[in-house]
Amino acid sequence: MLTFVAFVVAIAVLVAVHEWGHYAMARSCGVKVLRFSVGFGPRIAGWTSPKSGTEYVIGLLPVGGYVKMLDEREAPVAESERCMAFNNMPLRSRAAIVGAGPLANLFLAVVLYSSVNWIGVEQPQAILAQPQQHSVLAESGFVGGEWVLRAAFEGDALEEVASFESFRWWLAKGAIERRNVQVEFLSPRGATQSALLMVAGVDAHHADAQLFQRMGIAGPFSTARLGSVMPDGAAAQAHLLTGDLVLRVDGMDIVDAVQLRELIRSSGYAGVPRPQSWQVERQGERVSISVVPKMVLERGQSIGRIGAIVGAPPAMAVVQYGPLDGISEAVRHAWETSFMTLRVMGQIVIGEASLKNLSGPITIADYAGKSAAMGFTQFLTFLALMSVSLGVLNLLPLPVLDGGHLMYYLWEALSGKPVTQLWTERLQKLGLVILLMMMSVALFNDVTRLLR
């Protein structure tokens, strides 16, 4: 239920702001607005302004909206109102009205990011878990436990890294933009060191969790301490206790919980549970214990499980900014997100990025519910990201989108005459086909992820 409510609220807010941008600019340019609708389908609520005559409507299906303006191309217009028709407006006014919707979404994103920056959000510190073998971090000498302090693209001035998510953002940008990232960090022994992470050559064809695994980012550092122990699990049968700190497994030193979880999982790869010799620290004493993980099937692969929470919560920090810094950071983040979204879309078009990067309503609804469950600031961050995506998507030069209409106006400005009705209809049909194909691929990706 939370997922559905969060999804409806998110779409309604994003659509309302987008359409309000068109509406507010149209009114300021002197265009008469006939209807402002949030949602499609049958009307479930609404009212008509006695002053302007605009009908404000809430539709049954909250998956879009529209602003209907007075236009001679759609219906006859009285002579007294021709000056208020959209089609009779100067080119600059029509372009401003069309572009105001996406810009309203980008402005909303800045407002939301600023709010999150002012409120503050608790995030894991940028202390790294043990990287996978042959990953970028492993080949750069990282072993786990390093605390990243500052980062930047190669050759740029270093900037402070406020959290683990901030560091992930640097690596994602580096992989997508084909630029290496230099970092300054505290080693597990407390020495300040620097390294150049060669992320420019990482395959960013799929911008997903696998991308971060190839770079060596499995998650923030978590000590290999056991949490709740299930009564009938392998941990309970081996007499492991909540709070036990795992020091060694089969003679191997344990750096963090990520390493321990992988050792437990890999014990079942052969299809037969393999006993493991554990050394744990319990109330200041070292205890040797034999553990036999139970074998379970996960997506057709046999893995080991011990029936206990493995790993203590990561060290957290409150990331918060002052009034001006919060705004500047929000503008910077909205700009970078917009640029990366456009770059990934461009890479999809030329085949450098996978179509699997497209997401549809099922994935959006899932993330809406998860972010809402995590808290108010997380939901605001999700809304900001979706607002950026909606703004950027609508600026694409597809005829059925705002960007397509701006493309028409650019042609009109360069040639001195508008696009003919025949070509408009042809381009609209082409744009609709492309948009439907994108939506079909996104929906297919959603279903595929759901069935995994």
Residues 158 and 275 in one domain: no
Same domain flag for 337 and 439: yes
Tens of each residue's pLDDT in the chain, 452 residues = 788 889 888 998 999 999 999 999 999 999 999 999 998 888 888 999 988 889 999 988 877 889 999 999 888 888 889 999 999 999 999 999 999 999 999 999 999 999 999 999 999 999 999 898 889 999 999 999 999 999 999 999 999 999 999 999 999 899 888 999 999 999 988 899 999 999 998 877 665 567 788 888 878 999 999 999 999 899 999 999 999 999 999 999 999 998 999 999 998 888 877 889 999 999 999 999 999 999 988 877 889 999 999 999 999 989 999 999 999 999 999 999 999 888 888 877 777 777 777 787 888 888 888 898 888 999 999 999 999 999 999 999 888 899 999 999 999 999 989 888 888 888 889 888 888 888 888 888 878 877 76
Question: Using one digit for the tens of pLDDT, what is the confidence trace for 53-111?
Answer: 899 999 888 778 899 999 998 888 888 899 999 999 999 999 999 999 999 999 999 99
Let me know if residue 28 belongs to a domain: no
Quick one: 325 and 434 in the same domain? yes
Phi-psi region for residue 22, left (φ > 0), alpha (ψ -120 to 50) or beta?
alpha
Question: Pairing between strand 181-186 and 192-197?
Answer: antiparallel
* Domain co-membership, 438 together with 355: yes
* Max CA separation in the chain (angstroms): 93
Statement to judge: residues 238 and 339 lie in one domain: no
Q: Are residues 365 and 255 in the same domain?
A: no
Residue 92 CA neighbour count, 13 Å, CB half: 1
Nearest to 114 by CA among 386, 377, 368: 377
Residue 126 lies inside a defined structural domain of this protein: yes
Last residue of a domain, one of 250, 284, 319: 319
CATH number of the domain where residue 260 is located: 2.30.42.10
How many structural domains compose the chain?
A: 3
Determine, yes or no, domain membership for 72.
no
Which of 392, 402, 375, 324 is closest to 99 using CA atoms?
Answer: 402
CA distances from 205 to 81, 198, 452 (A): 53, 16, 20
Say if 136 falls within a structural domain: yes
- Among the three residues 265, 289, 319, which one is the final residue of a domain in this structure? 319
Residue 241 lies in a domain: yes
Residues of the domain holding 189:
121-219+314-319
Q: Do 450 and 327 share a structural domain?
A: yes
Whether residues 236 and 129 share a domain: the answer is: no
Boundary (domain end) residue, out of 298, 332, 351? 298
For residues 432 and 331, membership in a common domain is answered with: yes
- Residue appearing with tokens 């918060």: 320
Q: Is residue 54 part of a domain?
A: no
Count of residues for the chain?
Answer: 452
Examine the domain organization and report whether 449 and 342 are in the same domain.
yes
Considering the domain boundaries, does residue 401 fall inside one? yes
Co-location of 325 and 290 in the same domain: no
Q: Is 24 within the bounds of a domain?
A: no
| Catalytic sites, residue numbers | 19
Same domain membership, residue 241 and residue 215: no
